[in-house]
A and B are shown apart, each in its own frame.
Chain A
Amino acid sequence: MAPKLESPNPPHADLPPSGIASVDPLFHILKVLPFAFLRLLRLHLKLPTLTLPSPMTVYALVLLTYFMVVSGIVYNVIVEPPGIGSTQDPHTGSVRPIVFMPGRVNSQYIIKGLSSGFMFVLGSVGIVLMDLTLDRNRAKSVKTFFVIAGISAVVLAYVMSMLFIRIKIPAYLS
């Protein structure tokens, strides 16, 4: 990029360093046509330097994308299910919400998908927290907090996911 900025010389600027007139025809044309009345600003433009993000930043982005994919965002966009289902209570006539779409295995309501995705991410964050306790040189209280938070996250996520799938597929013997 550096050579390109130098070629259209402003009309009041220096001649080429060798002291003789340039033989470049383009230079002469440009000297006359736009730059007889346009004046070049002395700007110091730099291309923004792109630095690669740290691995953990990328990992955070990846976790976010994983959450969206596993919650079934593509299913939501294409099939457009309602946020939550509803049925009429046969006796009272009031409308009751249904969270799990019954019928096929491959179907969901939006909110259900998001909460399941959250459970999966919670479980994996728990495992990551457990690993963080062993690795870094932190204060002891922080480490105990990480351990307890990690274990409880994994247990909670696992129990909730089992509960979800048991409700979704009534014949789930496990």
Chain B
Amino acid sequence: MVGKSEPINGTAKSQPPPSPLSPKSPDLLSGYFSFKSLKLKTKQQELLIRVSILCLVYILAFVTRLFSVLRYESMIHEFDPYFNYRTTLFLTEKGFYEFWNWFDSESWYPLGRIIGGTLYPGLMVTAALLYWGLRFLRFAVHIREVCVLTAPFFASNTTILAYFFGKEIWDTGAGLVAAALIAICPGYISRSVAGSYDNEGVAIFALLLTFYLFVKAVNTGSLSWGLASAFGYFYMVSAWGGYVFIINLVPLYVLVLLITGRYSMRLYVAYNCMYILGMLLAMQIRFVGFQHVQSGEHMAAMGVFFLMQVFYLLDWLKHLLSDTKLFQAFLRMTVTSAVGVGAVALGVGTASGYISPWTGRFYSLLDPTYAKDHIPIIASVSEHQPTAWSSFMFDFQILLFLFPAGLYFCFKRLSDATIFIVMYGLTSMYFAGVMVRLILVATPAVCLISAIAVSATIKNLTLLLRAKTKAPQSASGKGGSSGKAASKGSLDQSQPFQKNGAIALLFGAFYLLSKYVTHCTWVTSEAYSSPSIVLAARGAHGNRVIFDDYREAYFWLRQNTPPDAKVMSWWDYGYQITAMGNRTVIVDNNTWNNTHIATVGRAMSSYEDEAYEIMRSLDVDYVLVVFGGVTGYSSDDINKFLWMVRIGGGVFPVIKEPDYLVNGEYRVDKGAAPKMLNCLM
């Protein structure tokens, strides 16, 4: 227990300056009484240090996400959060039943959208509950403030959860380091900054919660933890479409445990409880519906569920039978027939169409070239591009070194919990390599495993420091390997050299961690704190120019157009127009109807008379386009135009991409293709 206070101290040193509490409190304490006179036992000292570190980390995680609120104002960023904000507003005004049954005729004109059945309500309900809670305590907050600050609040909660998870997997030192790492990791900050009111802010908390509860259930085998993990899974399903990751990782983990011979009653209880209850709860969300029994993506969980029953049966029979040879024969026949029956059932289900195949979004994760050839909408989103090394470095920095080292430590000390974190880390890193957006899902795993590496290395070094010249029977180190005692004996000869070396290495480790902190703060302030709706640029004289054109345009729409006007624009801006402009749009970010989007793309890229016909048929009154030529804004509609052509051409072969190119090159000046010059855009 004594050895543990050193790594915790070491972690405390690498905290950055914004912690004005810690210099004050020792002064206060020494003013009244000192630690010595308080006679705190070591255990209480350790508890105090741990709690204070966790409090500091909690505050740090919240504070570091507030850059854009301080620079601009408290507003919602980007595109998707505006839809979430609009639905949360509706929920708080009209109540839950109206929200659940809402049919929105203001978007996707003339089709409308069944909002109650096509969204994940977790985020909205969470924000609404926070809002009602604060109102109950008579804090008169506006729902917008609650929405803006939901993500940092849940990021802070995630750090506490990471502490408990690290404690479960390795020990408290690793838990504290994991909490500190995940508080500032840029991969997580990118989607949970204040103002980014999106599903992922809450979903990562739910993901880690489900995983923690499940690992706890497997470790203890208790039914209550299994029940808790089922409810954690329900929260995750209600929050984000990425729950498919959980429902595939957990069966894969169970399968790996079965293969490595770690079947036990605890695993049986934990998995069955979580699967059955979780599946039943997940079906309450209308958007998910019956997918758990019908969709191909969820079949792995069902297959492993039946396999677990087979294992239980075999275990019970082994217990009853006394003849081992007979049992071996029976085992072979049963496993073969079970697998055969399962394969036949799967085949019949898939062939008859009851089990739907993997949807395009998730299939492109397994086969990355699929989206490029078949589904241009998925390929066009910049977040769905595959990851280059620089994105990894940008988001993780030294964690990229520590991750394989942590894997090494996990492989050295294999247990049910470390196998889980290894699998989570490997699968999530692969998916992070496929799509930039999924670096977010990999972040908790990378932070946890790196924390194991940091904690184990620092523990080694401090044990070297504390190695006294006694008889080497104190095997109070890691793992209790017998070679350690002998190696301690051989270390005693070059004692001072070892001590100096260990001190130097400790300083090196602290230096690396402090560089990590500097990097994270720089990345957060420069790259991830810009609300895309307010843009900043350098003016002609180098001064910083902030232009608010988007919001001004939407307010112009709101104030100067008739209330039932219909606006046609590219789908990127749909959510913002409905939320801020309060007008009906033709297509928006939900992109659920490819043909409708292709119609708009066709209208944008046809000659003006054809486009006029299409727009009359859609009852369009206004067209909104974004042009960045005056200010040098580079992601405007001219840049996106080729995607409009591709998507329109995907459905209407009339639109051909080579018509708009000159010698294979896309030009927009006088030398552009004639079709390009004369089209609506």
Contacts and interface: CB of A to CB of B under 8 A. Distances in A.
B402 interface: yes
Interface stretch (A13-21, A38-46, A134-142): A134-142
B354 interface: no
A172 B522 CA distance: 8
A65 B391 CA distance: 18
Q: 5 closest Cβ contacts across the A-B interface?
A: A123-B401, A124-B404, A108-B388, A127-B405, A137-B483
Interface stretch (B207-215, B392-400, B591-599): B392-400
Interface of B: 259-261, 329, 332-333, 368-369, 372, 385-394, 397-398, 400-405, 407-409, 411-412, 414, 422, 426, 429-430, 432-434, 436, 453, 456-457, 460, 464, 481, 483-484, 486-487, 490, 501, 505, 508, 512, 515, 518-519, 522, 526-527
B401 A75 contact: no
Given A72-B389, A74-B386, A174 B483 contact: no
6 contacts: A3-B329, A56-B411, A71-B389, A78-B372, A137-B486, A165-B393
Contact of A66 (B387, B402, B403): B403
Contacts of A108: 388-390
A121 B404 contact: yes
Interface string A153-174: 0100110010011001101111
Given A78-B369, A130-B457, A131-B409, A72 B386 contact: yes
The dominant DSSP class at the A interface is helix
Given A66-B429, A164-B393, 6 more contacts: A66-B426, A74-B368, A131-B460, A154-B401, A165-B390, A165-B393
A173 B521 CA distance: 11
B457 A74 contact: no
Contacts of A106: 385, 387-388, 390-391, 436
Contacts of A36: none
Nearest to B394: A105
Contacts of A151: 505, 508
B460 A174 contact: no
Contacts of B400: 70, 120, 123, 161
Contacts of B484: 134-135
Contacts of B390: 105-108, 116, 165, 168-169
Contacts of A154: 401, 508
Contacts of B430: 65, 69
B91 to A, nearest CB: 36
A153 to B, nearest CB: 10
A11 interface: no
A23 interface: no
Nearest to B405: A127
A59 B464 CA distance: 26
A79 interface: yes
Contacts of B412: 55
A171 B433 contact: no
A142 to B, nearest CB: 12
Contact of A173 (B385, B393, B486, B522): B522
B503 to A, nearest CB: 13
A5 interface: no
Contact of B483 (A2, A71, A121, A136): A136
Contact of A116 (B393, B434, B481, B515): B393
Contacts of A123: 400-401
B408 A75 contact: no
Interface of A: 1-3, 52, 55-56, 58-59, 62-63, 65-66, 69-75, 77-79, 105-108, 112-113, 116-117, 120-121, 123-128, 130-131, 134-137, 140, 147, 151, 154, 157-158, 161, 164-165, 168-169, 171-174
Contacts of A70: 389, 392, 400, 429, 433
Given A69-B430, A74-B433, A106-B436, A124 B405 contact: yes
A49 B300 CA distance: 26
B259 A52 contact: yes
B404 A63 contact: yes
B493 to A, nearest CB: 9
B411 A127 contact: no
Contacts of B401: 120, 123-124, 126-127, 154, 157-158
Among A117, A130, A137, A161, max chain B CB count under 10 A is at A137
Contacts of A136: 483, 487
Contacts of A62: 404, 407, 422, 426
A52 B411 contact: no
A45 to B, nearest CB: 14
Nearest to A115: B389
Contact of A69 (B409, B429, B518): B429
Among A125, A126, A158, max chain B CB count under 10 A is at A158
B189 to A, nearest CB: 15
A126 to B, nearest CB: 8
B409 A77 contact: no
A105 B486 contact: no
Contacts of A164: 393
Contact of B388 (A2, A65, A107): A107
A115 B423 CA distance: 26
B405 A52 contact: no
Contacts of A161: 393, 397, 400
Contacts of B487: 134-137
Contacts of B391: 105-106
Nearest to B502: A134
A171 B538 CA distance: 14
A158 B394 contact: no
Contacts of A171: 526
Contacts of A158: 398, 401, 512
A60 B144 CA distance: 50
B505 A72 contact: no
Contacts of B398: 158
A102 B677 CA distance: 30
A75 B518 contact: no
